[in-house]
């Protein structure tokens, strides 16, 4: 079974005194904590990506960094690809990237910007007679969506072909 984890990067810290472009904004302290909670959640659920594709803006890299201690403790090794193009891609372009994945990858985590991740999720979700299973919630910063992509090759991943298993929004406790 193939599994896809779509993660909207945690919230960046917007501070005019930093004089940084959007690309270089760090996470808020809350974003750092929520990212760590997300890593704990993935570990607890047994979610263990063997490939991580991460957009290159600071908020995406820092989200992954704060999760990493929990992801790295899983049973099999992960490969990480930092791709500067990911944060600019729309849903269809992200789908095209996923269709090019090697078959050896069974579980893939994509960390990106809300727009692209949201569009990809809406594109992939399999229609269901139960509309509550296909109605995607608003993606908050740090939100994770888990999809079952079946057993077919990644090249077969198509619109409407993935089953949404779970959505997780970390909350400060």
Higher pLDDT, 53 or 73: 53
Residue 55: phi and psi, rounded to 5, are -60, 160
> What Cα–Cα distance (Å) separates residue 94 from each residue in 32, 39, 58, 144?
25, 23, 19, 16
pLDDT at 121 over 90: yes
pLDDT of residue 45: 94
CA-closest candidate to residue 110, choices 10, 39, 36, 6: 6
- What are the structural domains, with CATH classification, of the chain? 2-168 (3.40.50.1240)
Give the tens place of pLDDT for each residue, 6-52. Answer: 998 876 677 767 767 777 777 888 888 889 999 999 999 999 999 99
Higher pLDDT, 115 or 109: 109
pLDDT at 133 over 60: no
């Amino acid at each position: 079974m193939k599994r896809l984890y779509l993660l909207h990067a945690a919230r960046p810290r917007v501070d005019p005194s930093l004089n940084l472009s959007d690309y270089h904004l760090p996470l808020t302290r809350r974003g750092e904590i929520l990212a760590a909670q997300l890593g704990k959640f993935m570990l607890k659920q047994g979610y263990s990506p063997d490939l991580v594709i991460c957009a290159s803006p600071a908020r995406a890299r820092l989200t992954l960094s704060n999760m990493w201690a929990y992801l790295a403790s899983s049973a099999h090794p992960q490969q990480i690809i930092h791709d500067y193009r990911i944060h600019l891609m729309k849903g269809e372009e992200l789908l095209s990237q996923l269709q090019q994945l090697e078959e050896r990858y069974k579980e893939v985590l994509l960390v990106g910007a809300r727009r692209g991740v949201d569009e990809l999720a809406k594109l992939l979700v399999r229609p269901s007679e139960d509309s509550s299973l296909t109605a995607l919630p608003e993606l908050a910063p740090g939100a994770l969506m888990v999809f079952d992509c079946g057993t077919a090759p990644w090249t077969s991943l198509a619109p409407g072909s993935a089953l949404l298993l779970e959505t997780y929004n970390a909350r400060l406790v």
